[in-house]
Amino acid sequence: MAEIKRATGLIVVEVINSNPNGDPDRDSDPRQRIDGRGEISPVSFKRKVRDLVEDKEGPVWKAMQSKLELDSEAFYILESRGRNREKIKKEEMSVNNGQTFLDSLFVKKYWDGRLFGNTFLEEDMNKGTIKTGVAQFGMGISLAKIRVERHTNTNKAGVQEGKNQGMAPLGYRVVSHGVYCMPFFINPSMAHKSGCTATDVELLKHVIPYAYAHNRSAIRPFVEIRHAWYCEHGNPLGSCSDFALIQALTPQYKNDPDVPSSSWEDYEDACGLPEDLAQKVNCLDLLSLS
């Protein structure tokens, strides 16, 4: 089995007239911090990656399956919409005599369980339950305050009986422009606990560039990954500081961060690592894998 190497990543996302992540506590307004900066939750991003892998008839999975020679039976999604909790619970408990938990069907079947960890927790499950995984994503935060535009949606066909036209007041809520940075980390120390393999990580690396491009919607038409930096450490314990890598790869906003940006031109892009850091890690932009 190939070795999983420690890695530090940074996804740079540009948002144009779109809602990258709605907040259910605020009528699906784009998520926003108290200081006015925008947020994209780790759960939101991982959902998009899961959906692409789960859609076995979709072009992304078919391309990845061919390129990486993947067995569909080993890449089901545990955190699937409409999942059967009782069925999954039985799978997790079905460890045959003499079989370790990592050799069980449950571990071998669910890609996201091995990679992200298992949040499918029950009090009576056996002690082998995975609680965390190899890949962990941080909160995506915009580099400047965001401006949220709100408009009323209209529907030519009436949504109420007897009316010719329907309206959804303030139903269209988007960020006019923003650049968000989301850090993520690959921790090989968890691999022997979750059953994660180097192939599981490789699939994640190849799918990340398509997370938004193949998950567009009416409210999210233009959310695009500008960079998906992936820095693989030469030392399994870490070759340098995560903070140093993330800081070096983060674009610099040219204006006052209290003033929302209007285009990508408002930022000075990071084109790679300085020489002192580049010598300590193997850094590539995952977009080059697509």
The number of angstroms, rounded, from the C-alpha of 43 to the middle of its chain's C-alpha atoms is: 7
pLDDT tops 70 at residue 256? yes
Tokens (6 digits) for 78:
């545990």
pLDDT tops 70 at residue 122? no
pLDDT at 290: 74
Nearest Cα to Cα of residue 246 among 225, 275, 277, 220: 277
**Summary mean pLDDT of the chain:** 86
What is the band of 161 on the pLDDT scale with cuts at 50, 70, 90?
A: low
pLDDT at 132: 84
User: Against a cut of 0.85, is the pTM above it?
Assistant: yes
Mean pLDDT of 179-196: 93
pLDDT at 87: 64
pLDDT at 124: 43
pLDDT at 85: 60
DSSP assignment letter at 32: B
C-beta separation of 49 from 204 below 8 A = yes
% of the chain residues with pLDDT over 90: 65
pLDDT at 147: 94
Could you give the C-alpha distances from 255 to 17, 141, 252, in angstroms and in order? 20, 17, 9
| DSSP code per residue over 178-228 | EEEEEEEEE-GGGHHHHT--HHHHHHHHHHGGGTTTTS-BTTBS-EEEEEE
pLDDT tops 60 at residue 229? yes
CA–CA separation, 258 and 256 (whole Å): 5
% of the chain residues with pLDDT over 70: 81
C-beta separation of 231 from 283 below 8 A = yes
Q: Give the Cβ contact number of residue 253 at 10 Å.
A: 16
pLDDT tops 60 at residue 96? no
pLDDT at 74: 93
